[in-house]
Amino acid sequence: MKLKDWAFKKSPWIFHLGAGSCNNCDIELLDCITPKFDVERFGILLVGSPRHADCLVITGIVTKKVLPRLKRVYKQTPDPKIVIAVGACACSGGIFRDGYNMAGPVDRVIPVDVYIPGCPPKPEAIISGIVKALGDMK
């Protein structure tokens, strides 16, 4: 294992992008870093810029207005990166699948590594998803 991959697995930094979600997945994701779940003790950190991030966590159906911005954020995230789609909307479009402003789901726009279904997924599910994504890293 190269040094870069080793470091990547030890402390994945996350950039969260709400691409037209209802906030539920977003607050559950944020819940992961507060005392009850506290993923920071494992080195998982929410960062404010995609340029600092290892993981891109995307919630929500990708709306048409967000589409170009999502592509840009994906390009700005340095390799190696993993993309995690959180919630039913990001995985499949969910209840908004038939909406006229829908440009997603996420995997139609950018490649997705991990899908975490649920409306919203519980923080445990989100943590488990990220851990599995890291386990798959070779």
Give the binding site for other proteins (CB under 8 A): 15-18, 20-31, 34-36, 46-49, 60-61, 63, 65-66, 69, 73, 94-96, 98-102, 119-120, 122
- Would you say 4 or 71 has its CB closer to other proteins? 71
- Whether 56 contacts 81, CB under 8 Å: yes
Give a three-class secondary structure readout of 52-81: HCCEEEEECCCECCCHHHHHHHHHHCCCCC
- Would you say 12 or 60 has its CB closer to other proteins? 60
Least distance CB 42 / other proteins (angstroms):
17
Nearest to 39 by CA among 118, 120, 128, 112: 128
**CA 104, CA 9: separation in Å to the nearest integer?**
29
- Would you say 4 or 72 has its CB closer to other proteins? 72
Least distance CB 66 / other proteins (angstroms):
6
